[in-house]
Structure 1
Amino acid sequence: MPYFQLPNDLEKRDVAERFTPNETQKVTLIVAACYIVAIAILWHVPFLKYLLYPFKLLTVALHEFSHAFAGILTCARIHSIQLDPDEGGATRMAGGIPIITLPAGYLGSSFFGACMIACGFNTNASKVASIALAVLFLIALFWARKSWITWALIIGFAAIIVALWLIKNSIALRYFVLFMGVMSCMYVLWDIVDDTLARKVNTSDASVFAKICGCCSSRVWGFIWLIIACIYFGLGLIVGLVAFKQSEAQMQEDARHFIPAPGA
């Protein structure tokens, strides 16, 4: 008969400490909550909503890159990625496995958003996330090289990253990566609701996915993807809390030794 040992008080206390935010993490959580409120407000306020416009396009770029990346993994040939000024996008490919490439847009961009949220709890992790995100966008730019709006977005994004990297041991970069993560996850949640649960015209990825699968409606698949995206959002916060327990002073000291800004 197998023997199971119950965790002792010390082990329970260790688990509790891992999930209990320290003072620096509390500040990060408060900032993330403020981002959520600010994005939700700006999303629907006339004129002010244009402040989010470039960041919405960046999340659309992540969405389309996720389609393309899933296509590459399933042996598709990527013809182009197109971003539209009206916050739309399209990935044209030949081949691949549609049941993988179709949900990859929503689920991939929400996964990337969750990764950025987790990295937003630590300065050096934010540096790594910025480099990785820049590489993703450069790859996307190869497929979208004929799109002027993609060029403008990539150049603008690179300028912001470089500028924030140079500010006081890259402390501002951490909050920018956190914002991009929250923005990406919220955009996915809103987009899924708008495209599948609320929209009456069946032209979404979920509607095409439902036709291919032959079971369940687009709204059902949209709801499933919404749940997965919410789980990613929560996991991003949990990973950030568990993995990055450094104080602000410790993060600044670590940042001085990992790709430091000139003069740091």
Structure 2
Amino acid sequence: MAPVLTPVLEKSGPTVFTGPLVRSAKAAVVAAGPNLAKLASREILSRRGLAVTSDSQRTTLGIIGAYVVVIALLWNLPYVRWSLWPFKMLVIAFHEFSHAFAAICTGGRVKSISLDPREGGVTHMLGGMNFITLPAGYLGSSLIGALLTFCGFNIVASKIASLVLGVCFLLTLWWGKKDWLTILTILLAVGLLVACWFIAHAIALRFAVLFIGVMSSLYSVWDICDDLILRKVNSSDASVFAQRYGGSSQCWGVIWSIISLIIMVAGIIAGIAAFPQSFAQQVEDSRNFLPTR
């Protein structure tokens, strides 16, 4: 039997390269590092469809930022606050409908819903799980707002959303306070949505839907401001939740506001990923779906 030869491997230390050429290579890698990182991140975003590449996306993001500032001012400034009434009524309706939906899903029953742009809304319920129904108003309106913000990135999606919004506006007349100013402002808001259909092939409709989406997404922030600063008649859900489960209304308000912001950001990211089309492409698509002049 032939002997089995086992190779012997000699251990050696690591090879160290030195010299000006190596030092130059190291310097080049260090200098190129940030640029390589940027290129890599762009490539990852492009693969995931999250790159902001079109004029439509950039404009929409800028308008979202402007809406946040404008709504915050109009919501709290006296004398001009009334300009938000129809939209505020709708957002309050989303909030109260979310309470009602959560109550029904947890075995409760809804007795009545009332809406008032001055005093806020209130939903009278029997049964249900309060731990779920109380935050459902904020989180539900935030989810609806995120969906509308998502639709606000595209004309065709905004057309579909506006049909639902029109019905919701009219439903608020049933539960809303029956005074002439509320009725008039809601009808004007419905008229505004209809008019936006006929402005530049419904491009204006996109921004109307986007406005309502941003306002609804951040309703928890606006409502906490109302409760802590303006002291409206109907206390916020955060106050009731704090009374029943401990903590402070400010604490729960901040927590729910952060969750609302996260939901809103998710809607924005989804809109960027789903609708990369330019304005020209969206107008062309809009002409093939319930076309208007």
Partners of 2:120 and 2:234 within 8 A in 1: no
Alignment partners' CA distance in 2, 1:48 and 1:154: 16
Alignment partner, residue 235 of structure 1: 266
Partners of 1:81 and 1:140 within 8 A in 2: no
Partners of 1:80 and 1:92 within 8 A in 2: yes
In structure 1, list runs of 5 or more residues that go unmatched.
1-8
Secondary structure at the aligned position of 1:18 is classed as coil
- Of 101, 112, 115, the residue aligned with 2:147 is 115
CA drift of 1:24 comes to 1.4
**Within the alignment, does 1:259 sit opposite 2:290 as a pair?**
yes
Aligned residues: percent identity? 49
Alignment partner, residue 183 of structure 1: 215
Alignment partner, residue 164 of structure 1: 196
**Within the alignment, does 1:32 sit opposite 2:64 as a pair?**
yes
Alignment partner, residue 164 of structure 2: 132
One-letter identity of the residue aligned with 2:276: K
User: CA-to-partner distance for each residue in 1:111-134, whole Å, 9 max, x for gaps?
Assistant: 111111111110011112112333
Question: Runs of 4+ in structure 1 displaced over 6 angstroms?
Answer: 196-199
One-letter identity of the residue aligned with 2:50: R
Alignment partners' CA distance in 1, 2:201 and 2:218: 28
Distance 1:179 1:63, change over 3 A: same
CA drift of 1:252 comes to 0.8
- Of 246, 270, 276, the residue aligned with 1:245 is 276
Alignment partner, residue 195 of structure 1: 227
Largest Rg, 1 or 2? 2
One-letter identity of the residue aligned with 1:95: G
Partners of 1:189 and 1:230 within 8 A in 2: no
Alignment partner, residue 52 of structure 1: 84
Secondary structure at the aligned position of 1:169 is classed as coil
CA drift of 1:57 comes to 2.4
Partners of 2:138 and 2:219 within 8 A in 1: no
Name the TM-score, length of structure 1 as normaliser.
Answer: 0.81
| Alignment RMSD | 3.0
Alignment partner, residue 46 of structure 2: 14
Distance 1:175 1:13, change over 3 A: closer
User: CA-to-partner distance for each residue in 1:46-83, whole Å, 9 max, x for gaps?
Assistant: 42333223322222222112212222322332222111
CA drift of 1:202 comes to 11
Secondary structure at the aligned position of 1:223 is classed as helix
CA drift of 1:229 comes to 0.8
